[in-house]
Amino acid sequence: MENQGLVNLEIIDLVLAFGLVLLSIGLARLMKVGHEGQMLWAAVRMVAQLLLVGYLLHFIFAVKSPLPVIAILLVMGAFSLQVIGGRIRNRMPRFYQVAGTSIFIGCGAVTFLFCAVIVRYTPWYDPRYLIPLAGMIIGNSMNGASLAAERLAAEMRERRDEIETALCLGATGRQASQSAVRSAFRAALMPTVNTMAAMGIVSLPGMMTGQILSGTEPVVAVRYQIAIMCAITGAVSITAYLILLQGYRHYFTQAHQFRDE
């Protein structure tokens, strides 16, 4: 008899799956990469965080109030900001202020638009929809935000002589840093563009795969995947744009002089 619906994974199945991570760590050790401890810690942290979130969502889904859902979203946003800060070595001035407001506005606006206008479920704070969708939007925007911030810092440092020359010739801070901002924005969008280009032929997205495994019709799953990918692209672009729009200004004084590092 064929299996119907989603196949339940037992603990032993997860142990076998985790063996693939141990295999990867063994290969890294064989190649003397030197990051075996980081890989093991990341895997253990992933398991602990997902188990914690799973049990937490079990209770959140039963709550009929928007306050716990909003609190979860704020924690997700704060944690994403902490992760971005940990990834970047050379930070722009006022990094946390710039990145925090950009993620809040970019991801918040796109999540609200997607949930309230496109999906149109009721109530709007239904955690079964809002939390997973917001998580995908914030998670992908986090990558774009880190790329935008890191690339802008690198470009401003490497092009300092060029920028100061332009300032001496009468250019404003915006005009002098235009090339650096454009390069950073291109870098922030590139992973999302590559993902869209490969989607469906090279790879099947996680959301679509999960819906199909749970018994959803493939065409319905495809529609959801197209919609969420469009939302992710919008959130990444808005978040990166806001980071760069605010970020470059903090490199200059009001007199359009390059600030000392």
Count H helices and E strands in the chain, helices first: 10, 0
Same domain as 55, residue 137: no
The DSSP secondary-structure symbol of 125 reads T
Q: pLDDT at position 1, please?
A: 41
Domain with 3 in it: 1-60
Whether 174 is in a domain gets the answer yes
Answer with the one of 40, 60, 80 that is the final residue of a domain: 60
- Give φ, ψ of 252 to 5 degrees: -125, 150
The 10s digit of each residue's pLDDT in 128-148 is 888 888 988 998 899 899 999
Q: pLDDT at position 102, please?
A: 94
Our count of domains for the chain comes to: 2
Greater pLDDT, 162 or 215: 162
The 10s digit of each residue's pLDDT in 20-69 is 999 999 998 888 878 888 889 989 999 998 888 888 878 877 777 888 88
Same domain as 119, residue 9: no
Look at residue 186 and tell me whether its pLDDT is greater than 70.
yes
pTM: 0.79
User: How high does pLDDT run on average in the chain?
Assistant: 86
Same domain as 85, residue 180: yes
Whether 257 is in a domain gets the answer no
Look at residue 72 and tell me whether its pLDDT is greater than 70.
yes
CA within 13 Å, CB half, 3: 7
Contacts of 197 (CB under 8 A, 6+ apart): none
Q: pLDDT at position 4, please?
A: 53
Whether 201 is in a domain gets the answer yes
Same domain as 46, residue 82: no
Same domain as 208, residue 188: yes
- Measured in residues, the chain has a length of 261
218 cis-preceded (ω within 30 degrees of 0):
no
Helix, strand, coil: what percent of the chain each, to 5?
A: 75, 0, 20
Distance CA 7, CA 126 (A): 25
Distance CA 170, CA 179 (A): 16
Same domain as 88, residue 48: no
Greater pLDDT, 261 or 223: 223
Residue 118 falls in which region: left (phi positive, over 0), alpha (psi -120 to 50) or beta:
alpha
Whether 258 is in a domain gets the answer no
Q: pLDDT at position 219, please?
A: 84
Same domain as 163, residue 99: yes
Look at residue 213 and tell me whether its pLDDT is greater than 80.
no
Same domain as 98, residue 31: no
Whether 261 is in a domain gets the answer no
Whether 259 is in a domain gets the answer no
Greater pLDDT, 11 or 212: 11
